[in-house]
């Protein structure tokens, strides 16, 4: 018989075991130390066959920015794995049950995740709330349009881990609440995850470089990136892989990307997990040369629909709207909700539109619209005009963005 229970810190090596086997990753002592250094890692769940840990799940406690600049407490699901010897016996399902029940018991209204395989999580009520764009841009096709303006006065300084952790965090904080999807980060998250680059985790990649961009002497942008050199047809054809780059103003955004695109010996600049409306699409004179490809990024699960909608921010106002929700996996959410003045409450009124909870989760960060969900048969309009009203209410001017897999 399989039992699911919270695990203790002493069991962290065992808890990381199924992930290590599924993804072929070693260095368990280092991974345990890193996990334990992260303030966000606050939920540990193990599936046991007798005394043996055969399945794992955990979650990060962080806040996710929603439209309107409001950050909502979120349980970010991670380290989900089941040993190959125990697959397809319902262990993942039990872990999902325990994770959502525990999230609810902790008073959190939203869970999120990155999916290794998109076909797994819809059945548990998660919907794709943001997409990530990957680019591969040839340096000699990276010309920007318009005049550089204030970006021309930018200065750059390569910094070590300590200085990067100190200087990058305030810049990120200025961008965070203006950008749906961005996560809160503790100092330990910056040091042990985002900027961490130990030999054991590098897997043969070049070392991470970190650059600080100042405008008028003020820190305004940064990039973490890697440069590798290759010889192709007797010519140096390096590649630059962006880990994360952002600026706190249009000038800083332009300056940091110009810096990356001007790196000598580099032929191709690569980045992934960019927002799908990244300013780069409008900076470069040939957007098609970015070769942007899409992938699903953050999936959102509304664990408590009324609380999640009431905690969310809004960029727009509108007349009350009644949303009917179906939720087979968390039946406490089933019913109709009246959304008025940015707050949601249960109602007996007939819904203006109906949808499953995974589709509603997809709209949560403002990047997926109700009309398009309806076009795909994932939402149904009951009152004429309701889809357009919902689109206007839920939308975000900026596409949601999460620059890191958690
Ligand atoms: C993915 C994984 C966790 C599934 O665990 P499991 O215990 O075999 O899953 P369950 O038996 O509980 O299956 C639950 C449901 O998910 C479905 N499912 C499970 N794995 C799936 C997969 N890889 N793709 C599509 N559906 C999947 C099952 O068919 C089942 O569907 P149903 O309940 O509608 O009949 C496990 O195979 C694994 O560890 N894989 C490698 C690591 C991994 O991908 N982790 C996810 C990280 S995000």
- Name residues whose C-beta falls within 8 Å of residue 249's C-beta, 6 or more positions apart in sequence: 215, 220
- Count CA within 13 A, CB hemisphere, residue 317: 1
Q: Residue 347's beta-bridge partner residues?
A: 336
Single out the catalytic residue among 114, 121, 124, 225.
121
Inter-residue contact 42 to 59 (CB < 8 Å): yes
- Name residues whose C-beta falls within 8 Å of residue 293's C-beta, 6 or more positions apart in sequence: 133, 134
77 close to ligand 1 (CB < 6 Angstrom)? no
**The token pair that represents 210 in the structure block:** 């970190």
For a mutational test of ligand 1's pocket, the pick from 57, 78, 93, i.e. the residue with the most ligand atoms closer than 8 A to its C-beta, is 93
| Residue listed under structure tokens 């539109």 | 353
120: CA distance to ligand 1 center in Å? 6
- Going along the chain from its start, the domains and CATH numbers come out as 2-108 (3.40.630.30), 133-294 (3.40.630.30), 305-394 (3.30.1050.10)
Inter-residue contact 368 to 405 (CB < 8 Å): no
Between the alpha carbon of residue 329 and those of residues 100, 147, 280, 378, 404, the distances in Å are 10, 54, 40, 17, 28
pLDDT of residue 355: 98
SS3 call for 206: coil
pLDDT of residue 322: 98
81 close to ligand 1 (CB < 6 Angstrom)? yes
Closest CA relative to residue 352, chosen from 325, 328, 392, 375: 325
Between the alpha carbon of residue 193 and those of residues 41, 135, 159, 297, 372, the distances in Å are 12, 23, 17, 18, 35
Nearest residue by C-alpha to atom 40 in ligand 1: 81
pLDDT of residue 26: 78
**Predicted TM-score of the model (pTM):** 0.97
Helix intervals (H) in 17-160:
17-23, 28-37, 91-105
Kind of pairing between the strands at 110-113 and 70-82: parallel
Inter-residue contact 391 to 368 (CB < 8 Å): no
Please tell me the distance from the alpha carbon of residue 327 to that of residue 146, in angstroms, as a whole number.
Answer: 49
Low-confidence ranges of the chain (pLDDT < 70): none
Q: Residue 157's beta-bridge partner residues?
A: 212
Ligand 1 atom at minimal distance to the Cα of residue 92: 12
User: Quick one: DSSP state of residue 193?
Assistant: I
């Amino acid at each position: 018989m399989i039992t699911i229970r919270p695990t203790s810190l002493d069991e962290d090596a065992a808890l990381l075991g199924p992930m290590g086997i599924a993804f072929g990753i070693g260095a368990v002592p280092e991974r345990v130390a890193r996990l334990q250094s992260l303030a966000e890692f606050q939920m540990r769940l193990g599936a046991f066959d007798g005394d043996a840990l055969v399945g794992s799940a955990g979650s990060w406690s962080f806040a996710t920015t929603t439209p309107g600049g409001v950050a909502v407490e979120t349980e970010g699901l991670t380290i989900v794995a089941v040993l190959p010897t125990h697959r397809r016996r319902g262990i993942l399902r039990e872990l999902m049950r325990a994770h959502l029940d525990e999230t609810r018991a902790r008073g959190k209204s939203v869970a999120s995740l990155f999916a290794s395989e998109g076909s797994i999580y819809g059945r548990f009520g998660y919907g794709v709330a943001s997409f990530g764009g990957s680019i591969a841009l040839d340096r000699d096709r990276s010309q920007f349009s318009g005049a550089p303006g204030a970006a021309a006065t930018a200065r750059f300084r390569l910094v070590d881990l300590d200085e990067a952790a100190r200087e990058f965090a305030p810049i990120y904080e200025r961008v965070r609440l203006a950008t749906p999807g961005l996560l809160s980060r503790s100092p330990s998250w910056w040091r042990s995850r985002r900027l961490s680059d130990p030999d054991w985790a590098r897997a043969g990649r070049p070392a991470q470089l970190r650059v600080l961009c100042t405008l008028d002497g003020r820190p305004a942008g940064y990039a973490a990136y890697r440069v590798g050199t290759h010889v192709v047809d007797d010519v140096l054809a390096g590649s630059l892989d962006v880990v994360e780059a952002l600026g706190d103003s249009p000038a800083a955004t332009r300056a940091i990307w110009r810096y990356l695109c001007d790196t000598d010996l580099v032929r191709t600049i690569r980045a992934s997990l960019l927002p799908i409306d990244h300013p780069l699409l409008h900076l470069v004179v040939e957007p098609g040369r970015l070769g942007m490809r899409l992938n699903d990024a953050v999936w959102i699960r509304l664990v408590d629909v009324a609380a999640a909608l009431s905690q969310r921010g809004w960029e727009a106002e509108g007349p009350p709207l009644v949303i009917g929700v179906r939720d087979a996996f968390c039946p406490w959410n089933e019913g109709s909700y009246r959304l008025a003045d940015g707050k949601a409450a249960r109602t007996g009124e007939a819904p203006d539109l109906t949808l499953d909870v995974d589709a509603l989760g997809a709209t949560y960060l403002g990047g997926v619209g109700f009309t398009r969900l309806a076009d795909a048969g994932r939402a149904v309009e009951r009152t004429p005009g309701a889809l357009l009203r919902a689109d206007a209410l839920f939308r975000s001017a900026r596409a949601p963005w999460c620059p890191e897999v958690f």
